[in-house]
């Protein structure tokens, strides 16, 4: 197939070697139709990757098979992976019962629980790029492309730059949509012994689920890999102290029968969506583009969508359309990220089995802010209207068949399962 945009996409840079940058570099290698394109993968080996991100959505299973050209079984084993069929919620909502949010079709569609660091290694094997270990000081838009300025090197011009440098240093209302209607902002990560046994001659076939367990100060994720089990306590550092978290984390592990753990990290994070994800020449991807806490593991799937959409538009549309295409793609991506944010924030709206300071804050102060934060005039897209339409559909006595496949970032089946489980 002739791809009219490929002529104006000769030289590409990917900045960052975390999950997002590694996915982008492998995707350029795979999708660019001309083998003589130039790809520079630039990263500063002194700046660590975030290194968490162990849950995913089913589209990653297909994507990794295509990018690596390896059988699914090999990919899963290389990732130390298990098959994730959904998220098992414990103690969430007003019904006081546990429930599962399955991928659709239920018990058929699965994603991976994976080791984030080895996924980047796997992707590098499928990437053809010149590797440059340098600190990027600036990425600036210039006529028809972007200029990347690295420490100790002459600035270099590219037709397209993927900026995958991770979280912005600070949020600014002109550049970022603050979605702190999601009430958490910090994670404590612990690593515990594996609870899933690796098979000798093939991938682990057992169905596994990410556990999302409500706790007085937030919630705890439990992700089973073949090499270890990852635990993370997600909370709000302005509402609860680190000492309170550590003590409740200890109590949880003890009740779960886990006697040893390795303390990994305390990670503060912002909840935001960038107002400019794509301007035609610079594409922010991964944690540089948007972030929300990991309750529904939306980060890797967001990076996949950003990279896929941007490469599709740049390769398949000729350069003369770019000025018109870029704002449309940008709005589409903002809309999608914000919709994920609304879906995740909504999980807190019915509280949990705990009537604690954190859960009162989440329900009564943080979530009600979503209407102001996502108001169309403040964000320039229709995410809030689409989200409201999904909730309105759930409240109908009969959902018309024509509406069954409706989506607002995630399918109607996901909204329906969460609504039933949470009681809202
Ligand atoms: C607690 C927690 C749990 C999570 N769980 C999940 C999950 O279950 N599922 C999921 O999908 N996601 C999850 N995530 C999100 C996860 O962080 C992202 O999916 C993923 O790590 C993407 O990160 P990134 O590649 O954008 O950035 P990073 O991993 O931060 O990588 C940034 C890269 O940019 C480079 N860099 C930075 N600055 C410069 C510079 N100036 N010059 C050159 N190079 C530079 C760094 O060296 C690094 O290579 C979680 C996040 C947190 C905080």
Task: Say how many C-beta atoms besides its own lie within 10 A of residue 121's C-beta.
Answer: 12
Which residue of 22, 26, 50, 292 sits with most ligand 1 atoms within 8 Å of its CB, as the best mutation to test the pocket?
Answer: 50
Is 185 a pocket residue for ligand 1 (Cβ < 6 Å)?
Answer: no
Task: Indicate the pLDDT class of residue 51, thresholds 50, 70 and 90.
Answer: confident
- pLDDT for position 199: 77
Mean pLDDT computed over 49-69? 95
Residue written as tokens 């590797």? 131
Return d(Cα 308, Cα 31) in angstroms, integer.
9
Q: Say how many Å lie between the CA of residue 165 and the centre of ligand 1.
A: 8
Percentage, residues of the chain above pLDDT 90: 93
Return d(Cα 268, Cα 260) in angstroms, integer.
24
Does domain 4-338 fall under CATH 3.10.150.10? My reply is no
- pLDDT for position 304: 98
- pLDDT for position 52: 87
122-148: per-residue pLDDT in tens? 999 999 999 999 999 999 999 999 999
Task: Indicate the pLDDT class of residue 313, thresholds 50, 70 and 90.
Answer: very high
Domain limits, the chain: 4-338, 343-422
pLDDT mean across residues, the chain: 96
Mean pLDDT computed over 414-419? 98
- Nearest CA owner, ligand 1 atom 52: 52
Return d(Cα 66, Cα 98) in angstroms, integer.
36
- pLDDT for position 201: 78
Q: Which two tokens stand for residue 24?
A: 């982008």
Is 19 a pocket residue for ligand 1 (Cβ < 6 Å)?
Answer: yes
Task: Indicate the pLDDT class of residue 53, thresholds 50, 70 and 90.
Answer: confident
- pLDDT for position 197: 82
- pLDDT for position 101: 98
Is 299 a pocket residue for ligand 1 (Cβ < 6 Å)?
Answer: yes
Task: Indicate the pLDDT class of residue 371, thresholds 50, 70 and 90.
Answer: very high
Task: Say how many C-beta atoms besides its own lie within 10 A of residue 307's C-beta.
Answer: 26
Is 187 a pocket residue for ligand 1 (Cβ < 6 Å)?
Answer: yes
Residue 229 has pLDDT above 90, yes or no: yes
- pLDDT for position 202: 84
Q: Which two tokens stand for residue 252?
A: 């949880």
């Amino acid at each position: 197939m002739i791809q009219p945009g490929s002529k104006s996409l000769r030289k590409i840079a990917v900045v960052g070697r975390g999950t997002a940058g590694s996915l982008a570099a492998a995707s350029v290698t795979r999708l660019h139709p001309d083998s003589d394109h130039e790809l520079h993968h630039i990263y500063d080996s002194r700046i660590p990757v975030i290194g968490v991100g162990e849950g995913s959505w089913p589209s990653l299973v297909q994507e990794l098979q295509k990018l690596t050209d390896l059988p699914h079984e090999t990919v899963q084993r290389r990732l130390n992976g298990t098959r994730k069929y959904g998220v098992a919620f414990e103690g969430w909502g007003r019904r006081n019962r546990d429930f599962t949010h399955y991928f659709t079709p239920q018990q058929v569609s699965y994603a991976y629980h994976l080791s984030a660091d080895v996924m980047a290694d796997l992707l590098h094997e499928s990437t053809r790029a010149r590797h440059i270990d340098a600190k990027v000081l600036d990425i600036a838009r210039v006529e028809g492309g972007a200029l990347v300025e690295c420490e100790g090197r002459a600035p270099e011009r590219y037709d397209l730059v993927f900026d995958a440098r991770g979280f912005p240093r600070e949020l600014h209302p002109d550049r970022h949509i603050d979605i702190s209607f999601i009430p958490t902002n910090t994670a404590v990560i612990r690593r515990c012994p594996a609870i899933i046994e690796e098979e000798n001659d093939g991938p682990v076939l057992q169905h596994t689920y990410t556990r999302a367990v409500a706790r007085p100060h937030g919630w705890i994720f439990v992700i089973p890999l073949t090499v270890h089990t990852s635990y993370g306590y997600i909370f709000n550092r302005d509402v609860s102290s680190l000492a309170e978290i550590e003590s409740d984390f200890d109590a949880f592990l003890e009740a779960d029968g886990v006697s040893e753990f390795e303390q990994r990290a305390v990670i503060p994070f912002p909840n935001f969506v960038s107002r400019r994800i794509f301007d035609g020449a610079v594409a922010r991807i991964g944690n540089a583009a948007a972030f929300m806490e990991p309750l529904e593991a939306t980060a890797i799937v967001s990076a996949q969508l950003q990279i896929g959409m941007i490469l599709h538009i740049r390769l398949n549309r000729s350069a003369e359309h770019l000025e018109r295409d870029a704002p449309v793609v940008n709005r589409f991506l903002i809309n999608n990220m914000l919709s994920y944010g609304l879906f995740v924030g909504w999980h807190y709206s019915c509280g949990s089995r705990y009537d604690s300071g954190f859960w009162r804050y989440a329900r009564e102060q943080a979530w009600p802010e979503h209407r102001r934060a996502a108001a169309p005039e403040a964000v320039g897209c229709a995410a809030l209207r689409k989200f409201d339409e999904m909730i309105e559909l759930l409240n109908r006595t009969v959902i018309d068949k024509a509406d069954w496949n409706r989506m607002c970032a995630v399918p109607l089946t996901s909204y329906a399962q969460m609504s039933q489980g949470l009681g809202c």
